[in-house]
């Protein structure tokens, strides 16, 4: 999750205007990239960034993703490709986890990340409308499978979902979790300084947002949730239908979503034990892509600053590998 002030500053750093999964020992595919727009029947078009396997060599980075050379607009290579959709945190954008996306592409995945309408670095008008997020994620899945430029190359039976912070909440709900948002007001009476409580106190809840039903998408077959927000809104009954394989991450020193209210609460309520990872010394924003020199100059310090002695780049080398291995294994990538 991210404050409106940080979100406004982030705007200065955002974009300006396929081979089958590799066999052991085979060369990794190159990373292609397209910026697309997905029609949304219930709102304005959704901004989407898509990374995908290509045979075309990378030529350089695109704005806001300085550490990742891509082959922009190159042809997709391969067929029967698995798909991972990504949901960002409060006030974010589709490029917040571009290094994780690239790691998945190198294992043969198509990765599609949306910029959530009404909860992004430009616009926070619906940041408190949590039911909108899984609905939009489901719209993205439908677009990628049915209408995107690479839809014929994707295996609809192998779809995963990755989310961070508010996006971590989003993928849990989209995969079958039923949160009880009625738990938020009493929580905030007890913990008014918590991030979501300050956000609620400083904003207006859109009409009907607290009672709107959550969209669940059965096409999601595996889930990675990193530092999920509002974990305490998921009860045992609310998570009884979330039976897909789940990798759940918690930052050991999360200053935004403190333990035990979020990832730990989700873990305790799940019907089966997840693949649970706690990252000692990590802060909340350490799950975002490591900041290069340009990002460090332009983004607010909390987004780039790790605790003394914590190596975000080294952590991401392991994190990205663990996420890619989880999706590859749990979605049966390479199996026929």
* The pairing of beta strand 246-251 with beta strand 110-115: unpaired
Six-digit token string for 153: 């190359």
In which band, very low, low, confident or very high, does the pLDDT at 16 lie, cut at 50, 70 and 90? very low
In CATH, the architecture of 4-330 is 3-Layer(aba) Sandwich (3.40)
pLDDT value, residue 22: 46
Which pLDDT belongs to residue 64?
81
pLDDT score, position 335: 65
Contact (CB, 8 A) for 266 and 248: yes
The pLDDT of residue 210 is 75
53, 18 Cβ separation under 8 angstroms: yes
Averaged confidence pLDDT in the chain: 91
What's the Rg (C-alpha) of the chain? 18
Residues whose CB falls within 8 Å of the CB of residue 280, separated by 6 or more in sequence, listed in order:
252
Q: From the centroid of its chain, how far is CA 78?
A: 25
- Condensed to tens digits (0 to 9), the pLDDT of residues 205-259 reads 777 777 889 999 999 999 999 999 999 999 999 999 999 999 999 999 999 999 9
Please tell me the predicted confidence (pLDDT) of residue 119: 97
Query: Do residues 122 and 94 lie in contact, with contact meaning Cβ atoms separated by under 8 Å?
Result: no
pLDDT classification of 13: cutoffs 50, 70, 90: very low
Nearest to 226 by CA among 124, 126, 92: 92
**Nearest by Cα to 294 from 284, 303, 283, 307:** 303
Q: Compute φ and ψ for 11, nearest 5 degrees.
A: -60, -25
> What's the whole-number mean pLDDT along residues 182-192?
96
DSSP β-bridge partners for residue 150: none
Structure tokens at 124: 């926070």
pLDDT at 18: 31
Structure tokens at 168: 């971590």
- pLDDT, tens digit, 9 for 90 and up, residues 93-106: 999 999 999 999 99
Confidence tier at 26 by pLDDT (50, 70, 90): low
pLDDT band, very low/low/confident/very high, at 1 (cuts 50, 70, 90): low
Query: What is the three-state SS of the chain?
Result: CCCHHHHHHHHHHCCCCCCCCCCCCCCCCEEEEEEEEECCCCCCCEEEEEEEEECCCCCECCCCCCCCCEEECCCCCCCCEEEEEEECCCCCCCCCCHHHHHHHHCCCCEEEEEECCCCCCCCCCCCCCCCHHHHHHHHHHHHHHHCCCCHHHEEEEEEEEEEECHHHHHHHHHCCCCCCHHHHHHHHHHCCCCHHHHHHHHCCCCCCCCCCCCCCCCCCCEEEEECCCCHHHCCCCCCCCCCCCEEEEEECCCCCCCCCCCHHHHHHHCCCCCEEEEECCCCHHHHCCCCCHHHHHHCCHHHHCCCCCCCHHHHHHHHHHHHHHHHHHHCCCCCC
Parallel/antiparallel/unpaired status of strands 81-87 and 71-72? unpaired
Residue 183 predicted with pLDDT over 80: yes
Q: Which residues pair with 113 in a beta bridge?
A: 49, 86
Q: Are 128 and 110 in contact (CB under 8 A)?
A: no
Q: Which tokens go with 104? A: 């998945």
Q: Give the residue extent of every domain in the chain.
A: 4-330
pLDDT at 297: 83
pTM here?
A: 0.92
């Amino acid at each position: 999750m991210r404050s409106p002030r940080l979100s406004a500053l982030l705007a200065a750093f955002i974009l300006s205007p396929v081979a089958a999964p590799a066999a052991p020992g085979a060369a990794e595919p190159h990373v292609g990239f397209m910026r697309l727009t997905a029609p949304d029947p219930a709102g304005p078009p959704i901004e989407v960034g898509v990374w995908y396997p290509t045979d075309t060599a990378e030529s350089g980075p695109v704005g806001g993703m300085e550490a990742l050379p891509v082959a922009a607009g190159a042809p997709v290579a391969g067929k029967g490709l698995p798909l991972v959709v990504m949901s960002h945190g409060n006030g974010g954008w589709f490029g917040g986890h571009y290094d994780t996306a690239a790691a998945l592409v190198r294992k043969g995945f198509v990765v599609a990340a949306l910029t959530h309408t009404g909860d992004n670095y430009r616009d926070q008008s619906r940041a408190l409308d949590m039911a909108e997020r899984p609905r939009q994620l489901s719209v993205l899945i439908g677009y990628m499978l049915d209408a995107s430029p690479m839809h014929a190359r994707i295996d609809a039976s192998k779809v995963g979902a990755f989310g961070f912070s508010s996006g971590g909440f989003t993928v849990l709900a989209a995969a079958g979790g039923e949160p009880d948002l009625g738990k938020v007001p009493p929580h905030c009476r007890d913990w008014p300084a918590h991030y979501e409580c300050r956000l609620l106190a400083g904003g207006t809840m859109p009409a009907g947002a607290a009672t709107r039903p959550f969209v669940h998408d059965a096409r999601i077959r595996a889930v990675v949730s990193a530092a999920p927000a509002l974990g305490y809104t998921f009860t045992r009954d609310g998570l009884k239908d979330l039976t897909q394989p789940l990798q759940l991450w918690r930052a050991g020193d999360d200053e935004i979503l403190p333990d035990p209210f979020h990832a730990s609460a989700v873990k305790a309520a799940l019907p089966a034990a997840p693949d649970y990872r706690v990252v000692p010394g990590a802060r909340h924003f350490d799950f975002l892509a490591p900041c290069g020199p340009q990002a460090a100059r332009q983004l607010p310090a909390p987004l780039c600053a790790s605790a003394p002695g914590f190596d975000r780049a080294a952590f991401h080398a392991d994190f990205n590998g663990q996420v890619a291995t989880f999706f590859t294994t749990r979605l049966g990538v390479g199996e026929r």
